[in-house]
Every structure is written in structure tokens, then in C-alpha cells.
């Protein structure tokens, strides 16, 4: 059965939610489809904003597109994701039946990202992202600390230090 683009997106989100639960995370969804992320994964101390993509395996690679698209009365549009839009790109691949979590800081400014199922035959190492390195959420230090009861702000931990963000 051939899937429509929206069905593929729904399958990707469903598979990522199931994978996150298996990893011990809770999952929340935004109230609006206009949020710059699809899901929030959380545990006792962290919140992660995830943008979810469905991507097929081709030539030993899974390619995630880093563009958002929409249609309105003026036609079809697309744009790059802005810095801070989400913490992780979550990719579901039906051929591997697996989910992969790539930190936004690793793909900022890119329009696509490739992760490889097998190492390249030419033994290239630089610039290669092996899928096995991205199967667990939280491998990066870019997280949002869960707010204490009654707090309106959360701490953002990055490699550069701490900052506050209004929610």
C-alpha cells in the first residue's frame, strides 16, 4: 500500500512515541500544529523538543530533510528550521524499523542530513554519521531542565553554559 505524505508523517510520529516510551521517556504533544516541533520527550529532570521525520533507506543511507513545508491560498511553501526550533531531529526509517535522534546543533544550517547504516566502502570517517550512534535520545548535552512546581521558566543546558528561556 502506498502511503500519502501525511500518513508517513503520522507513522513516523507514532513510531518515535513508542520508541521513546521503550527508552523510559514520557511524551507530550503541542496543542497546535504550528509549533516548531512535533513532540516533547521528558523524564524526571529533562525536556527534549523533537522534530520528527519519516525517511526511507536508500543506498545504505537514511536522509532526513531539514525543511518545513505547508500550503495555503498562495501555494506551497517551504523553509529551513531556525536555530532553537527543536533540540533533536527524530527520524523513523521503516526499512530498519528504528528511530534515530540527531542533535539540532549537529545539523543547524543544513537542508538534509544523512546517517549511514553501514560504514562507507572507501573507509571515510570524517563527516560520516553512523546510525548506530543515534539510537538513544539524550546523547547530547542540549536539554531543558524540567521546571519546578510554580516556575514559569526552565533552564537550558548547553555546552556553552546555562540560560533561561520563557515558556
Query: Per-residue confidence at 42, pLDDT binned at 50, 70, 90?
Result: very high
Q: What are the grid coordinates assigned to 92, written together? A: 523513523
Q: Which residue has the higher pLDDT, 142 or 32?
A: 32
pLDDT for position 57: 95
- Domain spans of the chain? 5-139
Instruction: Return the beta strands (E) in 19-87 as ranges.
Output: 26-28, 39-42, 46-54, 57-58, 61-65, 67-72, 75-80
Question: Tell me, what's the pLDDT at 108?
Answer: 86
Question: Which CATH number fits the domain 5-139, given the four candidates 3.40.50.170, 3.40.1350.10, 3.30.1950.10, 3.40.50.150?
Answer: 3.40.1350.10
pLDDT higher than 70, residue 163: no
- Asked whether the predicted pLDDT for residue 121 surpasses 80, the reply is yes
| pLDDT 10s digits, 141-162 | 434 344 455 544 333 333 333 3
Torsion of CA 114, 49, 160, 133, to 10 degrees: -40
Closest to 137 in 3D by CA, of 113, 104, 107, 96: 104
75-80 and 153-158 beta bridge pairing: unpaired
Would you give the end-to-end CA distance of the chain in angstroms?
41
| Segment 52-87, tens digit of pLDDT | 999 999 989 999 888 877 788 998 888 888 888 899
What pLDDT is recorded for position 141? 44
* pLDDT of the residue at 2: 66
The answer on pLDDT for 164 being more than 60 is: no
Q: Kindly report the average pLDDT of the chain as a whole number.
A: 81
Amino acid at each position: 500500500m502506498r502511503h500519502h505524505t501525511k500518513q508517513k508523517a503520522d507513522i513516523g510520529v507514532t513510531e518515535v512515541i513508542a520508541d521513546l516510551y521503550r527508552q523510559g521517556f514520557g511524551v507530550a504533544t503541542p496543542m497546535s500544529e504550528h509549533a516548531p516541533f512535533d513532540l516533547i520527550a521528558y523524564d524526571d529532570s529533562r525536556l527534549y523538543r523533537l522534530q520528527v521525520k519519516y525517511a526511507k533507506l536508500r543506498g545504505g543511507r537514511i536522509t532526513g530533510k531539514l525543511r518545513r513545508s505547508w500550503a495555503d491560498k498562495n501555494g506551497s511553501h517551504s523553509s529551513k528550521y531556525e536555530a532553537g526550533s527543536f533540540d533533536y531531529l527524530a527520524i523513523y526509517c521503516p526499512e530498519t524499523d528504528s528511530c534515530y535522534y540527531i542533535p539540532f546543533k549537529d545539523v543547524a544550517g543544513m537542508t538534509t542530513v544523512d546517517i549511514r547504516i553501514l560504514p562507507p566502502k572507501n573507509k571515510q570517517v570524517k563527516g560520516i554519521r553512523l546510525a548506530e550512534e543515534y539510537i538513544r535520545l539524550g546523547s547530547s548535552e542540549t536539554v531543558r531542565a524540567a521546571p519546578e512546581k510554580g516556575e514559569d521558566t526552565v533552564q537550558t543546558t548547553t555546552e556553552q553554559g546555562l540560560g533561561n528561556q520563557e515558556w
